[in-house]
Structure 1
Amino acid sequence: MLQVKNISKNFKKNQVLNNISFQIYPGQIVHIAGRNGSGKSTLFKIITHLIKPTSGTITLDSNVKIGALIENPGFIEYESALTNLKFLANLNNAFDLSTVSNLMESFYLNPNDNSPVSKYSIGMRQKIGIIQAIMEDQNLILLDEPTRGLDPESIEQFVDLLNKLRNQNKSIIIASHDLLPDLKYDATYRLEKGLLVHE
């Protein structure tokens, strides 16, 4: 599914990633821990080709479709959540109202709420970010601090969703400070001083 091989990234004289290698297969969930500024978001941006590595290679199977929540998700602030999700999905002609509505309702969001996203809490915005990462049937899903701002009930719902995605043979990489309870990981790593350590 995905092979990360000898990835390094320098920003001028600052080395953020140092010879990172790991792989993930269909149906696996991988966790990468690390404090703020450890390079988790940079690694995700390299995997999604938003930035180029200084060295190393990213290899993806031909059928891989990436969905990603990286750092703070950006939205059209004066539009509703549903309008934002429709806009994002339509970039790939992949909007499905039923799928998106069901995902919103599973996270206790009302698809018919016309309130602008600018009025949403951090947790509500995070839920929209999670939805956009999976609503187009993506099979490699990258989630950067996905539970930030979520209440315990929403975290429980989020874990249930991840288990369903795993059962659909989708691969998930979660970058966060802590492991989620009630979620089985196939591999756990820690990113420290640019190095990825298998735990």
Structure 2
Amino acid sequence: MVAKSGEITGLVGPNGSGKTLIMKCICGFFSSYEGEIVLDGKPATEEERKNIGAIIETPGFIPYYSGYKNLKILAQINKKCSKQDIYDSMNTVGLDPCDRRPIRKYSLGMRQRLGVAQTLMEDPAILIMDEPFNGLDAEMTEKLRNRLNEEANKGKTIILSSHNPIDIEMLCNQTYYIQKGSIK
């Protein structure tokens, strides 16, 4: 699979086909696999993987902390973004960074939006988005589609999976079909 800068690459296939596993391999969560992961025409390196923003499966956050506090903790790992970057990222997905409500009181859609905010907050060159539209209403889905197109237009490499063929058709420059863990 080759994903290029400035393009959105789609991964499609039935449940259990391996889309999420491939994304985890790209992110470096698994190192034992056949084949080669190529990003922007080059084999993926650990250095490139430091510049990946990813939302894979259900976003996991500390349920007793607010959305802002969760993102602040995550931002301290790489020290790449400021408080304002976190605020901007949350506002982009329609979440109030001043909302002190704990994550456990967020709806599914709100948790998903927070996951998207976390993916974007450090302005990574590569975005890995596994079913990012899950739980989002029509308005937020349209905003996220627009944002992903904006990110691609900035030259970012985006890899996206979705069960909604409309998302793939509207967004992706190229699409790979995954079946039984292999790219077809």
Provide the TM-score with structure 1 as the length reference.
0.82
Say whether residues 1:112 and 2:98 are aligned partners.
yes
Q: Is the 8 A contact 2:53 2:120 kept in 1?
A: yes
Q: Is the 8 A contact 1:159 1:182 kept in 2?
A: no
Match of 2:119 in 1: 133
Of structures 1 and 2, the one scoring higher in RCO (CA 8 A, sep 6+) is: 2
CA RMSD of aligned residues (A): 1.7
More helix by share: 2
CA distance, structure 2, for counterparts of residue 54 and residue 172 of structure 1: 21
1:182 CA drift (Å): 7.8
Say whether residues 1:76 and 2:62 are aligned partners.
yes
Q: Which runs of 5+ in 1 are unaligned?
A: 1-21
CA distance, structure 2, for counterparts of residue 82 and residue 94 of structure 1: 16
Q: Is the 8 A contact 1:27 1:170 kept in 2?
A: yes
Say whether residues 1:195 and 2:177 are aligned partners.
no
Deviation per CA, 1:72-93: give whole Å up to 9, x if none.
1110110000000111011011
Query: Which has the larger Rg?
Result: 1
Residue 116 of structure 2 aligns with an amino acid whose one-letter code is: I
Deviation per CA, 1:14-43: give whole Å up to 9, x if none.
xxxxxxxx1011111011112221111111
Aligned residues: 176
Q: Which runs of 5+ in 2 are unaligned?
A: 38-42
Helix, strand or coil for the counterpart of 1:32?
strand
Say whether residues 1:172 and 2:158 are aligned partners.
yes
CA distance, structure 1, for counterparts of residue 168 and residue 179 of structure 2: 23
Match of 2:40 in 1: none
Provide the TM-score with structure 2 as the length reference.
0.89
Percent identity for Structure 1 against Structure 2: 38
Greater mean alpha carbon deviation, residues 172-181 or residues 70-79: 172-181
Match of 2:44 in 1: 60
Say whether residues 1:25 and 2:12 are aligned partners.
no
